[in-house]
């Protein structure tokens, strides 16, 4: 990964919040310090929910500046901040959307990622998300990793590597079929679950 070191949880939350607001509320971006604190502490679209103080976010910004991930905007009356993760990690639009939700929510299935990236990049199918994730996982410096299915889970999940390697088993690509099956009952059920998830996400955002 294109990092001198692993990012800590507060740095990951700050970076993910900047990436999200750039894509979902571009008129309010770059963010002031207070706006960034509020974005980090949102109760919706965050896992885990955090309660960071101004000094926590300010310190994380300085550390991210040292890694050339975040930069202040010159000339603003109130100092504002923007990320440069897309340049640092060479992300296109779809990849930036995927990395954003992984940074903000941790490990997720391809279907969950598809539902949660709709406002940033509308993927047509979960298979399209899966294909992108595989690309990000097999680059020379991988950004994501495919986790093995954990007890109690129906599907395996993906997670980012910004904070280092996960402490759960990783699934090898040799054990995962690259073929996309014909759309049967299971695929239709999966699509229905994704639609329900998307509706739940929207209701959560409306409720704050």
Q: Answer whether residue 69 is part of any domain.
A: yes
Domain count across the chain: 2
pLDDT at position 182 is 46
Domain shared by 116 and 192, yes or no = yes
Domain shared by 68 and 135, yes or no = no
Q: Answer whether residue 98 is part of any domain.
A: no
Domain shared by 71 and 109, yes or no = no
pLDDT at position 174 is 45
Q: Is 65:71 a contact under the CB 8 Å cutoff?
A: yes
Q: In this structure, what are the phi and psi dihedrals at residue 130, rounded to the nearest 5 degrees?
A: -60, -40
User: Which domain, by its residues, includes 17?
Assistant: 9-88
**How many Å apart are CA 88 and CA 65, to the nearest integer?**
12
pLDDT at position 208 is 56
pLDDT at position 99 is 98
Domain shared by 49 and 140, yes or no = no
Domain shared by 125 and 198, yes or no = yes
pLDDT at position 41 is 98
pLDDT at position 167 is 77
Residue ending a domain, among 61, 88, 115, is 88
pLDDT at position 204 is 64
Q: Answer whether residue 44 is part of any domain.
A: yes
Q: Is 32:172 a contact under the CB 8 Å cutoff?
A: no
- Which among 23, 24, 21, 47 is positioned nearest to 37, based on CA atoms? 21
Domain shared by 154 and 182, yes or no = yes
List per-residue pLDDT tens for the chain, 208 residues long: 556 689 999 999 999 999 999 999 999 999 999 999 999 999 999 999 999 999 999 999 999 999 999 999 987 688 999 999 999 999 999 999 999 999 999 999 999 999 999 999 999 999 999 999 999 999 999 999 999 777 777 788 999 999 999 876 565 554 444 444 445 555 556 666 666 676 666 666 666 5
Q: Answer whether residue 154 is part of any domain.
A: yes
**How many Å apart are CA 146 and CA 66, to the nearest integer?**
29
Domain shared by 84 and 120, yes or no = no
Domain shared by 117 and 65, yes or no = no
Q: Answer whether residue 163 is part of any domain.
A: yes
Domain shared by 192 and 116, yes or no = yes
Q: Answer whether residue 97 is part of any domain.
A: no
CATH of the domain at 19: 1.10.10.10
- Which among 202, 190, 185, 150 is positioned nearest to 171, based on CA atoms? 150
């Amino acid at each position: 990964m294109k990092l001198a070191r692993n990012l800590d949880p507060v740095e990951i939350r700050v970076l993910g919040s900047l990436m999200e607001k750039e894509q979902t509320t571009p008129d309010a971006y770059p963010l002031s310090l207070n706006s960034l604190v509020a974005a980090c502490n949102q109760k919706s679209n965050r896992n885990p929910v955090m309660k960071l103080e101004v000094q926590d976010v300010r310190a994380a910004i300085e550390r991210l500046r040292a890694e050339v991930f975040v930069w202040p905007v010159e000339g603003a009356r109130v100092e504002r901040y923007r990320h440069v993760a897309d340049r640092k990690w060479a992300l296109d639009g779809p990849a930036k959307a995927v990395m954003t939700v992984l940074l903000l929510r941790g490990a997720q299935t391809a279907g969950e990622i598809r539902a949660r990236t709709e406002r940033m990049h509308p993927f047509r199918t979960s298979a399209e998300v899966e294909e992108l994730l595989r690309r990000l996982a097999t680059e020379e410096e991988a950004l994501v990793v495919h986790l093995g299915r954990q007890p109690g889970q129906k599907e395996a999940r993906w997670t980012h590597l910004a904070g280092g390697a996960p402490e759960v088993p990783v699934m090898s690509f040799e054990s995962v079929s690259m073929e996309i099956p014909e759309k049967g009952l299971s695929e239709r059920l999966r699509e229905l679950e994704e639609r329900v998830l998307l509706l739940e996400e929207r209701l959560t955002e409306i409720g704050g």
